[in-house]
Amino acid sequence: MAREVSFSKSIDWPLFIVFMLFLCMGIANVYSAAFDPEHPNLLDFSQKYGKQILWVAFSLFLGFLVMLIDASIYRKFAIPIYIFCIILLVIVLFMPSVNGARAWLGIGSMGIQPAEFAKIGTAIALSSYISQINVNQQKMSTVLLANALVVGPMVLILMQPDAGTFVVFTSFLFVMYREGITYDPIILKLINLLPGVNFKSTWVGSHFIPIFFVVIFLSIVTLLMSNNIITFSFLPSVAIPGFAGVIGTLFVLAAISFFILRWISGRRDRNRVTLIVLIGFILTSTISSVVNYGFQGLASHQKDRIELFLGLKEDPDGEDYNRNRAMAAVGSGGWTGKGYQNATVASVQSNHVPESETDFIFCPLAEEWGFLGTMVFMILYMFMLVRIVIIAERQKSKFNRIYAYCCSLILFYHFAINIGMNIGFAPVIGIPLPFFSYGGSSMMSFSVMMFILLRLDSQRNDVLM
């Protein structure tokens, strides 16, 4: 067929090249991080770098298979694929626990983690479902079903437990936001229960996801600030307790936005603006209060955890051991790093940073290549993410577009949490850095995910899709 002939033209080379570049960098990095002077051969399959090469080779083989298969199969078999993933997630719960989690299916080192593949399955199922519905006529049932597709695997993953992958699954909420799946039907149902209220749509419902993340952000800020006493050098007698300061700041922000919004909005919207700002202020203050007083009411060990996470409490040799060591490794990189295979903190041999070849793989990279190295990585990764969004937006098929968004947001989540962990911006919840972390399951799942994307994109002109 003509389609097959033009394969090399239809593939998205920029994305493919970055993808391959990441695979090579990943191998080089694992070779450095896990280097054992007694087994210097890169292809020594008893070592992690040897195994990683095997995983990469196997992933490429899988990718080759994906490229041979017609892309329409994913859409057609979305439900079976999804159900298969769910079954695996259920089976894994009956497997023996490894390191406190029943995440592994299989024997020993040859096991796979179904949670990694469930991301692909969920992405396909979600893409398939959303592409079929009319987002402009959303019903309670469609919203609930779309959410159920995501929440189902999340619950099973939490039962393993695997907090990292659980958090990654919230990336699908962003995809739904992009596609206009709102929580309006649910919120309207609740609000319209009140007598005399009859909204057609609510701002909260349609922008639920960004609001959700604003709430998280607000909570963190509240917790960070409520322990402090705010003083001003020019007003020495004034000392505002932290929480009052938070509310005060919110009030000032609300006032500013009120005047700005009133100024830019038309006469018709004035009342609406007033209402929005008022509700916004009341809601944020309420959230802040709930977080603040809720935190006070927590048990002390829970408080410790949260304080540790927020960096309110330093415990470099205790619970915060990993993060502190990781940050020391990253921060000691300087401009150009300590040189390839010269990491002092983040090598597997020194073992100061535990899991430096898996979850903390960014440490050896940052320590050995310094700021220049991390910048190259950041730029390439940003390029990859934006490129996927561009690819998504050029798709004619809604299924393709949604799937591409799923890919970009999953990759983004892994990036944000994993790097955040290394630089003290995220709690240590243990998720791999795509294409870099040592491990078969993540390597295979991310590669297959990318190849499916490349395959879908290469067939974007097939009108039938």
Partner 1 sequence: MNFDSRKYVVIIFFVLIGLIYSSRLFYMQIIDDSWTLRAQEIAEKRVLITPPRGVVFDRKGKKIVTNRTYYNLMMVEENIKNFDTVSFAKLIGWSPEKVKYRFKEIVRGEGKYHSKITGKTTANYQKIRPYPFVKELTIDEMSVIAPYLENYPGFYEEITSMRSYPFSNAANILGYLSEVNADDIIEDKFYKSGDNIGKAGIEKFYEQELRGRKGVHYIVTSAMNNAIEAYANGKYDTIAKQGPALRLGVDIELQAYGEKLMVNKRGCIVAIEPKSGEILALVSAPSFDPNLFVGNRNITLNYPKLVLDPDKPLYPRPLAAEYPPGSILKLVQSLIGLQEGVITTESGFPCNKSIVGCHNHPMATDLKKAVQYSCNPYYYAVVRKIIHKGRKKKFYEDAEAGLNVWAKYMHSFGLGEKFETDITGLRQGLIPDSKYYDKWYGHLLWAFSTIRSISIGQGEVKVTPLQMANIAAIIANKGWYFTPHFVRAIGGQGSNPLFKKVNKTMVDPIHFEGVQEGMRRVVNEPSGTGSRARIKGITVCGKTGTVQNPQGEDHSVFLCYAPMDNPKIAIACIVENAGWGGSWAAPICKLMIETYLQGKVSDLLKEKSIIDANLLNVKKKKDKNTIH
Segment near partner 1 (CB under 8 A); pick from 226-234, 256-264, 314-322, 453-461: 314-322
Q: Which of 41, 375, 394, 461 binds partner 1 (CB under 8 A)?
A: 375
Q: Does 217 bind partner 1 (CB under 8 A)?
A: no
Q: Which of 40, 210, 241, 294 binds partner 1 (CB under 8 A)?
A: 210
Q: Which of 83, 91, 290, 386 binds partner 1 (CB under 8 A)?
A: 386
Q: Which of 35, 208, 405, 446 binds partner 1 (CB under 8 A)?
A: 405
Q: Does 135 bind partner 1 (CB under 8 A)?
A: yes
Residue number with CB closer to partner 1 (75 or 178): 178
Question: Residue 246 pairs with which residues in a beta bridge?
Answer: none
Q: Does 70 bind partner 1 (CB under 8 A)?
A: no
Q: Does 41 bind partner 1 (CB under 8 A)?
A: no
Q: Does 416 bind partner 1 (CB under 8 A)?
A: yes
The span from the CA of 94 to the CA of 88, in Å, is 10
Q: Does 330 bind partner 1 (CB under 8 A)?
A: yes
Question: Residue 105 pairs with which residues in a beta bridge?
Answer: 112
Tokens of 364: 């050896």
Question: Given phi > 0 = left and psi -120 to 50 = alpha, else beta, which region is 314?
Answer: beta
Q: Does 204 bind partner 1 (CB under 8 A)?
A: no
Quick check: 121 and 85 in contact, CB under 8 A? yes
Helix axes 321-331, 398-422, angle to 10 degrees: 90
Q: Does 157 bind partner 1 (CB under 8 A)?
A: no
| Contacts (Cβ under 8 Å, ≥6 apart) of 245 | 225, 228, 230
Quick check: 357 and 29 in contact, CB under 8 A? no
Quick check: 401 and 392 in contact, CB under 8 A? yes
Residue number with CB closer to partner 1 (402 or 443): 402
The span from the CA of 462 to the CA of 2, in Å, is 12
The span from the CA of 231 to the CA of 283, in Å, is 26
Segment near partner 1 (CB under 8 A); pick from 13-21, 268-276, 416-424, 442-450: 416-424
Q: Does 279 bind partner 1 (CB under 8 A)?
A: no
Helix ranges restricted to H, 112-241? 114-132, 140-158, 163-168, 171-178, 184-191, 203-206, 208-226
Q: Which of 82, 243, 399, 412 binds partner 1 (CB under 8 A)?
A: 412
Q: Which of 8, 46, 109, 136 binds partner 1 (CB under 8 A)?
A: 136
Which amino acid makes up residue 280? G
Q: Which residues of 420-443 are buried (b: 16+ CB within 10 A; e: fewer)?
A: ebbebebbbbbbbbbbbbbbbbbb
CA 281 to chain centre: 29
Q: Does 429 bind partner 1 (CB under 8 A)?
A: no
Q: Which of 3, 217, 393, 394 binds partner 1 (CB under 8 A)?
A: 393
Q: Does 254 bind partner 1 (CB under 8 A)?
A: no
The span from the CA of 285 to the CA of 293, in Å, is 12
Tokens of 436: 């870099």
Helix axes 114-132, 440-458, angle to 10 degrees: 30
The span from the CA of 329 to the CA of 417, in Å, is 17
Residue number with CB closer to partner 1 (22 or 381): 381
# of chain residues touching partner 1 (CB under 8 A): 53
Segment near partner 1 (CB under 8 A); pick from 94-102, 142-150, 265-273, 385-393: 385-393
Q: Does 374 bind partner 1 (CB under 8 A)?
A: yes
Residue number with CB closer to partner 1 (160 or 395): 395
Quick check: 12 and 454 in contact, CB under 8 A? yes
Tokens 């936005």 -> residue: 257
In which element (H, E) is residue 239 found?
strand 239-241
What's 422-441 look like in SS3?
A: HCCCCCCCCCCCCCCCCCHH
Q: Which of 28, 159, 287, 328 binds partner 1 (CB under 8 A)?
A: 328
Tokens 């590669």 -> residue: 447
Residue number with CB closer to partner 1 (180 or 248): 180
> At closest approach, how far in Å is the CB of 180 from partner 1?
4
Q: Does 402 bind partner 1 (CB under 8 A)?
A: no
Q: Which of 287, 389, 398, 462 binds partner 1 (CB under 8 A)?
A: 389
Q: Does 161 bind partner 1 (CB under 8 A)?
A: no
Residue number with CB closer to partner 1 (113 or 347): 347
> At closest approach, how far in Å is the CB of 175 from partner 1?
9
Contacting partner 1 within 331-370 (CB under 8 A): 331-335, 342, 344-345, 347, 349-352, 366-367, 370
Residues that bind partner 1 (CB under 8 A): 135-136, 174, 177-180, 210, 314, 316-317, 324-325, 327-335, 342, 344-345, 347, 349-352, 366-367, 370-371, 374-375, 378, 381-382, 385-386, 389, 392-393, 405, 408-409, 412, 416, 419-420, 423, 425
